[in-house]
Amino acid sequence: MVGTAIARALSRYDLAVVLADAANDVGTGTTKANTAILHTGFDAVPGSLESRLLRRGHALLAGYAAQAGIPVERTGALLIAWTPEQLQALPEITDKARHNGYASIRAVPAAELYRREPHLGPGALAALEIPDESIVCPWTTPLAFATEAVRGGVRLRLDCRVTGAQPEAAQTGAHLIRTTRGTLRSRWLVNAAGLGADRIDAMLGGGGFTVRPRRGELIVFDKLARPLVGSILLPVPTAQTKGVLVAPTVYGNVLLGPTAEEVEDRSDTATTAAGLAALLEAGRTIVPDLVREQVTATYAGLRAATEHRDYQIRVDAGLRYACVAGIRSTGLSASLGIAEYVVDQMAGAGLPLKERDGVAGPPAMPYIGQAGVRPYQDAGRIAADPDYGRIVCHCERVTRGEIRDALASTVPPADTDGLRRRTRAMNGRCQGFYCAATVSAMMTEPAMADGPGRPA
């Protein structure tokens, strides 16, 4: 997420940029661990870099999403107190929000809370309303950044794991970056490797932080559960975690999670019986009717936490190196704020920024949310191209035209998981019972690579 945002920011200048990722797609690391919320940063640590970049990132991403067609819904959030101790904590949270420059927070008494959220479980005492907390599509966002970057000349290298970095022997001032796809030579190096950021930092002589992966498991409920929840329902945070929340998704599902568990293994994104049971237990308290609905998906991601509370961002002019690490769970919301800050710091450290000719601006991304108009709902688009009327994934109402567009896009999917993230196909309640065979066959259908405008 942060890497694509920085690549996008750099693509506006006259620079030769390579965006390398160890995975076969963008946005598959810590990006996958997020709760798809566009945070205001009301509850960040006041005065921290995270607080500042979250506030800035929220404003920037809200504007960018509107331009690029990234699904966003301003549902607002309700931070709910369930115990007298939590009730006592609410004024402190309000103060903190004000210190973070967020003044729209307000107290909501229990009666109003239950009027707004009639399916809320019994026992809520009061809440705080944070009207600008929004839900956002976590897949379209990094894809839009990567698409804009690639169209702006950034070379995207996937399946390209960094294995070593050292100064070039010839004293040219370049970094020699060894990867699983060959050696790259670059004057500047930006380390936005998420869970692997400390390892790359160590190659550059760092060592000021260690990534401590924190696993978060989540449960996604059926779309028929969507009417049960109006806003993002937050718990009162503790020192350890923001706690388990219930939130609508922009696709029309309901999300329950995350757990927070420190793990050793940086690739262990398995769900656990204990984690899922704990989530259902929490869900039963928050919205009892929710756990009676069917589960559409479960997943887990790893947040790139470190031993430090704040972001670990450092730009070294001598090394021509930017370290952008410890972004924890706020990378989606802060991404554009972080990118702006990092590029600014790099400029201050001597990176020449000359605006390139023909900067195109945000790309128009395929819309996969539920609040706006999807292709199957658009008579005009179907008339112009009947493939937008041919629904192939029934649960998510994904059309043949959308799958074709994704396969022919600037940053195409490498596998069916990539296609799921881009189109929602196979991500619905049947998880492929009806469509997986057909959809995966389309991935190898020659006509699909030709893109729009060709007869099926």
Partner 1 sequence: MNVDVLVAGAGPAGLAAAVELRRLGAGRVLVVDREAEAGGIPRHSAHTGYGLRDLHRVMTGPGYARHYAQAAARAGVQIRTQATITGWPGPRTATLTSAEGIETVAAAAVLLATGCRERPRAARLVPGDRPPGVMTTGELQQRVYLLGQRRPGRALVVGAEHVSFSAMVTLAHAGADVVALVTDQPRQQSYAAFALAAAARWRTPVWTSTALRRVSGRGRLDGVELADLRTGAVRFVGCDTLVFTGDWIPDYELARLAGAEIDPGTRGPAVDTALETSVPHVFAAGNLVHAAETADVAALGGRHAARHLAAALRPGPPPRAQRIPVTVTAPLRWISPNAIRVGGPPPPRGLFLLRSEAFRRLARLEVRQGDRVLGTARARLVPERPVHLDAGWIARADPSAGPVRVTLR
Give me the residues paired with residue 38 across strands: 134
What distance in Å separates the CA atoms of residue 124 and residue 144, rounded to the nearest whole number? 39
What distance in Å separates the CA atoms of residue 128 and residue 247, rounded to the nearest whole number? 15
| 294, two tokens | 């069917």
Q: Which is nearer to partner 1, 415 or 450 (CB)?
A: 415
| C-alpha 100: how far from chain center | 22
CB 347 within 8 A of CB 353: yes
Minimum distance, C-beta of residue 121 to partner 1, in the bound complex (Å): 20
Selection from 129, 128, 131, 5 nearest residue 57 by Cα: 5
Minimum distance, C-beta of residue 410 to partner 1, in the bound complex (Å): 25
Minimum distance, C-beta of residue 26 to partner 1, in the bound complex (Å): 18
Selection from 328, 280, 325, 278 nearest residue 302 by Cα: 328
Backbone angles phi, psi at 14, to 5 degrees: -80, 75
Q: Which is nearer to partner 1, 168 or 417 (CB)?
A: 417
Q: Which is nearer to partner 1, 197 or 279 (CB)?
A: 279
Q: Which is nearer to partner 1, 206 or 413 (CB)?
A: 413
Minimum distance, C-beta of residue 21 to partner 1, in the bound complex (Å): 15
Q: Which is nearer to partner 1, 94 or 427 (CB)?
A: 427
The Cα angle at residue 455 between residues 427 and 360, in degrees rounded to 5: 70
Backbone angles phi, psi at 377, to 5 degrees: -95, 0
How many CB atoms are closer than 10 A to CB 147? 23
| C-alpha 357: how far from chain center | 30
Minimum distance, C-beta of residue 217 to partner 1, in the bound complex (Å): 9
What distance in Å separates the CA atoms of residue 371 and residue 367, rounded to the nearest whole number? 10
Minimum distance, C-beta of residue 389 to partner 1, in the bound complex (Å): 4
Minimum distance, C-beta of residue 377 to partner 1, in the bound complex (Å): 7
Minimum distance, C-beta of residue 354 to partner 1, in the bound complex (Å): 42
Q: Which is nearer to partner 1, 44 or 407 (CB)?
A: 407
Q: Which is nearer to partner 1, 57 or 428 (CB)?
A: 428
End-to-end CA distance of the chain: 34
Cα maximum dimension of the chain: 72
Residue 262 exposed, middle or buried by CB count within 10 Å (0-12, 13-18, 19+): exposed
Q: Which residues form the interface with partner 1 (CB under 8 A)?
A: 224, 267, 269-273, 275-276, 294-299, 376-377, 379, 382-383, 386-387, 389-391, 394-395, 397, 415-417, 429-434, 436-438, 440-441
Q: Which is nearer to partner 1, 87 or 382 (CB)?
A: 382
